[in-house]
Amino acid sequence: MTDNQANVETIVIIGSGPAAHTAAIYAARALLNPVMYEGEYASGVAAGGQLTTTTDVENFPGFPNGIMGPDLMMAMREQSINCGARILTKTVDSVDFSTRPFKVSGSFGDVFAHVVIVATGATAKRLHIKGEDVFWQKGISACAVCDGALPIFRNKPLVVIGGGDSAVEEANYLTKFASKVTMLVRKDELRASKVMQERAFANSKIDIKWNTEAQEVQGDQMMAQVVVKNNQTSAVETLDASGLFYAIGHTPNTDFLNGQLTLDESGYVITTPDTMKTNIDGVFACGDVQDHVYRQAITAAGTGCMAALDAEHYLSAQGLI
C-alpha cells in the first residue's frame, strides 16, 4: 500500500438494512474494519431500511414469536457495532468507480475505499393518496408475502392495487387468508401475463374493478375502507377493506450510482450469478438493490454475508489485506 493510500478505507458499505448489516458483521469479524454509511433518511426510508416501516416480522428465522421490524433492525445495528463496524449516519450522494481506490462522496466530503458494497435497497412505490401515511402498516402494506398471514387480515376483505404479474400473484396469495380480494386496475385490462390473468379470472375470491383507482384510505386505529373512483364514469365507491396491498412495484435505490454499474431495465444492479460481484471488480451489491425476485429480509441478509465474503476474497487476491 502506497503512502497516499494511508487513509483509504478497506470496505465502505452503503445502506442500513439486513444486507448492509450482515455484510458489516461479517467484514468486521474478519477484522476488515468496515465503515457503513447508513444514510439520513436516504431514499425516503429511515436508517434500517424497509423493515423500519413494518410491524411484526414472523418469518425471520430465529424468533419463534416474531419480532417487530424496527427491533430487528436495532438488534442488527447493535450487532454490527459490537463486532467492530463503524456506522456513520450520513448519506452517500455519489460514487466514482473510475478511480482506484474508489471515491465515495456526500455532505461528509470524499472518502476513498478499496471495496464498496452497495446495499441501498429498494423503495416500494407509493401513490400519495389521502390517508396513506396515516394507515401505512396499519392495514396498508407493500408486501403480501411478508404481511398477508398476519391475523388482522384473516377472513377480512382485502384490496390489491396493481395490474401486473406481481399484483395477480399477491391477490392470489391473499385469497388464502382473506374473505375476498378486490383488485383495483387502472386500465380495462391486466398487464399481467396470460397465464397469470387466467389464474386471477379463475379465482372465485378475486373480484377485479377495472378503470378504478384508489383515492383515499379511511379508518380509525386501523384502516377500514378504501374510497375508489372509476376513471371512466367518475363514479366513487367506498369499499370495506381491512388491508390494502400496493403491488405497483419498487424502485431500486441506484440513482446515486449514476450509471457506473450495469443495471437491468428496471434499475436493479446486475450481479454475477451465485455471487454478489458487479461488473466492476471490487464493487459488490447485495439485498433488494440487486434482487427483485425474493425481496425478503432473510434473503437480503444472506446476500450481505455473501458480499462480505466475496469482498474478502477480492481484497486478499489483490494483496490489499
Active-site residues, by number, are 143, 146-147
* Residue of 30, 6, 4, 1 whose CA lies nearest to 117: 30
Q: Which is nearer to a copy of itself, 135 or 268 (CB)?
A: 268
Q: Does 31 bind a copy of itself (CB under 8 A)?
A: yes
Q: Does 273 bind a copy of itself (CB under 8 A)?
A: yes
Cβ atoms of residues 154 and 177 within 8 Å: yes
173-199 burial: b if 16+ Cβ within 10 Å, else e = bbbebbebbbbbbeeeebebeeebbeb
**Binding test (CB under 8 A) with a copy of itself, winner from 11, 12, 15, 22:** 22
Ordered DSSP codes for 155-196: TSEEEEE--SHHHHHHHHHHTTT-SEEEEE-SSSS--S-HHH
* Residue of 281, 282, 275 whose CA lies nearest to 306: 275
C-alpha cell at 70: 424496527
Q: Which is nearer to a copy of itself, 131 or 148 (CB)?
A: 148
From residue 38 to residue 77, the character string flagging contacts with a copy of itself as x (rule: CB under 8 A) and all else as - is --------------------xxxxxxxx-x----x--xx-
Q: Does 5 bind a copy of itself (CB under 8 A)?
A: no
Max CA pair span of the chain: 71
From residue 115 to residue 154, the character string flagging contacts with a copy of itself as x (rule: CB under 8 A) and all else as - is ------------------------------x---x-----
Residues that bind a copy of itself (CB under 8 A): 18, 21-22, 25-26, 29-31, 58-65, 67, 72, 75-76, 78-79, 82-83, 145, 149, 169, 172-173, 176-177, 195, 199, 273-274, 293-294, 296, 298-306, 309, 316-317
